Amino acid sequence: MTTSTPAIDTSRATDRASLLAALAGEDTPTAPVWLMRQAGRYLPEYRAIKDRYGFWTMISTPEIAAEVTLQPLKRFALDAAILFSDIMTPLCAAGVAIEFSPGPIIAEPIRTAADVAALRLPSVDEIAPFVAETIAAVRSSTSTPLIGFAGAPLTLATYLVEGGASGDFARFRAWLPSERETATQLLELLTDLTIRYLLMQIGAGVQVVQLFDSWAGLLDRASFARHGLPHLHRILEAIAPTGVPCIYLAVGASHLLTSMRDLPVQALSVDWRTDLRTVRRAVPGPTLQGNLDPAILLAPASVVAEATERVLDDGRGGAHVFNLGHGLRPETPPDNVAALIDTVHNFDRHQEAGRSA
């Protein structure tokens, strides 16, 4: 494996193709692997660019965003690239002023019917055109599948209403049942925006999309059924004709698992709290993605290997894309990431003993 040369490791081109196979429901002999936040602060080459340009310039400058997207592929035998961007990116075109420091800060939160009415639904071409350029640049640089993404409407709304990240979004949780009509109007608009943004990314060349619903788990099942599911259904129906597979991630949402049963997604991304066997029983249809605890990557190599193999073992019995249960942590040693990927690629999912000879 290369660790410092700029050339992309192509030694596992065959394995790499398996991401799309696994997302098509194929029980592949090895699990394809990518890692949430694989382009991020744990890489010194990322930090060098971040220190120089700052987050928004990195996202909005296609050459930089493409370079950062490709950085982890130069080090590791990853089976997918994921667009370097932020779930809040498309909101700028809707008229929301957002600052990143590093989490999003919305100085003028959206809380009233008038706030929602003041938002505009941009055309496909108006939404973050730099993202389309980034996607084209990445696609022309690698044959590794590229994953695009968007925030789910509910999660976008948590930030817009709260005014930024707050840990537990108590204001949003009080607002949602207090302002149901306004909430529905906001969520409808965010749904339309998300559909256009994803169609733009798909048109520009992403081969997979992931919907990040980072805060869905804050809601109980009734609230999720009312304010989450209908919008997710509309998004999934709108992008279905493109044939591009969609991965849905909700964090801390094991209480919502049965609500996800009828969601027409190709894959569910699972956080580390719920083991994949349990999820597969509760939601038998989709490919499962996940779910090593990212904190484990701070442990010694033997602990990482053991925990990784347990996840791989739990992932048997259906299609599995290996990933973390949450984003890579900035303090992760890159060597542990390399070892993790080797462990995944050396694990034979069809052999009872687990590890291949």
Residues 6+ apart with CB under 8 A from 19: 32, 34, 79, 80, 145, 208, 321
Of 293 and 348, the one with the shorter C-beta distance to a copy of itself is 293
Contact assessment for residue 42 and residue 332, using Cβ atoms and an 8 Å cutoff: yes
Q: How far is the CB of 213 from a copy of itself (least distance, A)?
A: 14
How many whole angstroms separate alpha carbon 18 and alpha carbon 350? 15
Q: Which of 349, 280, 269, 267 is nearest to 308 (CA)?
A: 349
Is residue 225 involved in binding a copy of itself (CB under 8 A)?
no
Q: Kindly identify the residues of this chain, within the stretch 237-276, that bind a copy of itself according to CB under 8 A.
A: 252, 254-255, 272-275
Tell the burial category of 125 from Cβ atoms under 10 Å away from its Cβ (0-12, 13-18, 19+). exposed
Binders of a copy of itself in range 21-80 (CB under 8 A): none
Q: Is 118 in the site for a copy of itself (CB under 8 A)?
A: no
**Distances in whole angstroms, Cα of residue 18 to Cα of each of 23, 51, 328, 341, 345:** 8, 35, 22, 14, 11
Three-state secondary structure call for residue 305: helix
Q: Is 175 in the site for a copy of itself (CB under 8 A)?
A: yes
Q: Which of 35, 39, 64, 219 binds a copy of itself (CB under 8 A)?
A: 219
Residue 324 found at the interface with a copy of itself (CB under 8 A): no
- Alpha helix locations (H) across 142-228? 153-162, 170-178, 180-204, 221-227
Nearer of residues 230 and 252 to a copy of itself, judged by Cβ: 252
Closer CB to a copy of itself, 142 or 254, in the complex: 254
Q: How far is the CB of 291 from a copy of itself (least distance, A)?
A: 9
Q: Give 9 or 271: the residue with its C-beta nearer to a copy of itself.
A: 271
Decide if residue 349 touches a copy of itself (CB under 8 A). Answer: no
Residue 301 as a binder of a copy of itself (CB under 8 A): the answer is no
Q: Binding a copy of itself by CB under 8 A: which of 11, 143, 178, 356?
A: 178
Q: Quick check: 313 binds a copy of itself (CB under 8 A)?
A: no
233 binds a copy of itself (CB under 8 A): no
Rounded to a whole number of angstroms, the CA Rg of the chain reads: 19
Beta carbon of residue 343, minimum distance to a copy of itself (angstroms, whole number)? 15
Length of the chain: 357
- CA diameter of the chain: 64
Quote the least distance from Cβ 111 to a copy of itself, whole Å: 13
Distance CA 225, CA 311 (A): 29
By C-beta, is 45 or 275 nearer to a copy of itself? 275
For position 113 contacting a copy of itself by CB under 8 A, the verdict is no
Please pick, from the candidates 163, 205, 217, 285, the single residue that binds a copy of itself as defined by CB under 8 A. 217
Kindly write down the DSSP assignment for every residue of 53-122, as one continuous string: H-HHHHHH-HHHHHHHHHHHHHHS--S-EE----TTGGGGGGT---EESSSEE-SS---SHHHHHT----
CA 32 – CA 24 distance, rounded (Å): 12
307 binds a copy of itself (CB under 8 A): yes
Is residue 160 at the binding interface for a copy of itself, with CB under 8 A as the rule? no
- 295 sits near a copy of itself (criterion: CB under 8 A): yes
How many amino acids of this chain bind a copy of itself (CB under 8 A)? Answer: 38
Could you tell me the two tokens for 271?
Answer: 């956080």
The residue range among 12-20, 81-89, 95-103, 220-228 that interacts with a copy of itself, by the rule CB under 8 A, is 220-228
Q: Taking CB under 8 A as the rule, does residue 104 contact a copy of itself?
A: no
CB contact at 8 A, 81 and 56: no
| Residue in this structure with the two tokens 């070892």, named with its chain if needed | 339
Contacts with a copy of itself, residue ranges (CB under 8 A): 167-175, 177-178, 217-222, 252, 254-255, 272-275, 278, 293-300, 303, 306-307, 310, 329
